Structure 1
Amino acid sequence: MTGSDTLSRRAVLGGMTGAAAAAMLHTPAMAAVSLDLAKYRGKVVYVDFWASWCGPCKLSFPFMQQLAGRYPANDLAVITVNVDRQRAAADRFMQQVRSNLPVIYDAAGDLAQTWKVADMPTSLVFDRKGTMRFRHQGFFPGKVREYDGHIAQLVREG
C-alpha cells in the first residue's frame, strides 16, 4: 500500500481504528455510490475499476471471470466498478465480454477519486481483514501469473 492510499483511508475513516474502521473502510460518507466491503469480511476482495472505452479492460474480464471461478465464494469476491458516464455504454460492454461479475456504477467517479484511480483498469486487492495489499495499474497479460500469485498468497493467509 502506498502513502497516498494510507492518506485516503485516513480521510475516509476520520481517524477510526479497529473493527469500526474496518466496517467503514470503503464507504466515503459523501460518495454518491458506495463500496461497502464490510459484507465481504473474511474474504479476499479483488476490486477492478474499468471503463467501456478501455482496451485492456476487455482483456482483463476473462481473467477476472476465471479468477472468480477458481476460488470458492467464501475465499474470494471479485467486484467491478464502472466509471463510464453513460450506463448504456457499460451495459453494452458487459454484454460483449459476457460477464456476470457484480458491477458498481460510479458515473461521477466518486470511488475512483477516493482511491486515486487514474489508469484503466486499476485493481485493488484486499486481504481478509480489509487491508489493501496490492494495486495493479493497467492489465498486462504477461503479468497474469503475478496477479494470480497475489490472490493465492492472500487466500493462503487465511
Structure 2
Amino acid sequence: MGYRLLKQKHFSIVQPVMIAGLILGSMTAHAEISDKDTAPVAPMGDFAMPTYQGTSISLNDYLGKVVLVDFWASWCSPCRTSFPWMNHMSAKYRDQGFEIAAINLDQQKPQAVTFLKELPPEFTVLFNASGEMPEAFEVIGMPTSFLIDRDGKVRATHIGFHSDKTKEYEKEIQQLLQEAQ
C-alpha cells in the first residue's frame, strides 16, 4: 500500500508517507542483523528490470551474494546522501561478494537520469516505475533498503538513510560477508 501512495503526484500525499518512513527508520536502524533461521525470504522476483547501464537484470541474479536492495527516487533528499555512501561500500566490499541494486521508482525516467548524472553510481541501478518490486518488498518510505544474505533472506531493513548510522550499516554488511557461504 505504501508504494501506491508514493506513486501519487501530490506532495501532500507523499509527505506523510515520507515522514512516517523517517520515523520508522530511526527505530529500525540498528547494528544487529536478524537471525538467519527466522529471517524472511526476500521477494527477489524473476522478471528482468532495465538498468541505467543499458542492460537488464533480475534480482535473482544476485543469489549467492550479499546484496543491498535500495529503493530510491530523484525527489528524495536522503537518497542524495545515501548514493555517495553506497558508492563507497560498493567499491570497498565488491570483491568480497557484496552488490548493490538500487531500484528507482520515478514515474518519469528523465528525472532519475538527471539525478544519476549529478551523483554517478558505481553500482547497479534498476528502473521499476511500474511498481512490482516496491509492492513485493512493501516499501513505505524513501529510501528504503534491505540487506539480503547469500541465501536470499532479508536480514536488515532500513527506512530512510541516517548519516550518523553509516558505521552500523557497514557493520551489518561486514557481518553478512563473514558468514559461511
TM-score range, shorter chain: 0.7 to 0.9
Could you tell me which runs of 5 or more consecutive residues in structure 2 were left unpaired when the two chains were aligned.
1-33, 51-56
Q: Which residue of 2 aligns with 1:148?
A: 170
Q: Which residue of 1 aligns with 2:61?
A: 39
Change beyond 3 A, Cα 1:38–1:110? closer
For each residue in 1:1-48, what CA deviation from the matched residue of structure 2 results, as whole angstroms up to 9, or x when unmatched?
Answer: 6xxx95xx6xxxxxxxxxxxx9xx5116xx785973332222101110
Within the alignment, does 1:26 sit opposite 2:25 as a pair?
no
Change beyond 3 A, Cα 1:32–1:42? closer
Return the TM-score normalized by structure 1: 0.78
Return the TM-score normalized by structure 2: 0.69
- Structure scoring higher RCO (CA < 8 A, sep ≥ 6) equals 2
Change beyond 3 A, Cα 1:48–1:144? same
Select between 97-106 and 77-86 the one with higher mean Cα deviation: 97-106
Q: Which residue of 2 aligns with 1:90?
A: 112
1:148 to partner: Cα distance: 0.4
State the secondary structure of the residue aligned to 2:94.
coil
Q: Residues 67-146 of structure 1: matches in 2 within 5 Å?
A: 67-146=89-168
Q: Percent identity?
A: 36
State the secondary structure of the residue aligned to 1:26.
coil
Select between 135-144 and 102-111 the one with higher mean Cα deviation: 102-111
When the two structures are aligned, how many residues end up with a matched partner?
137
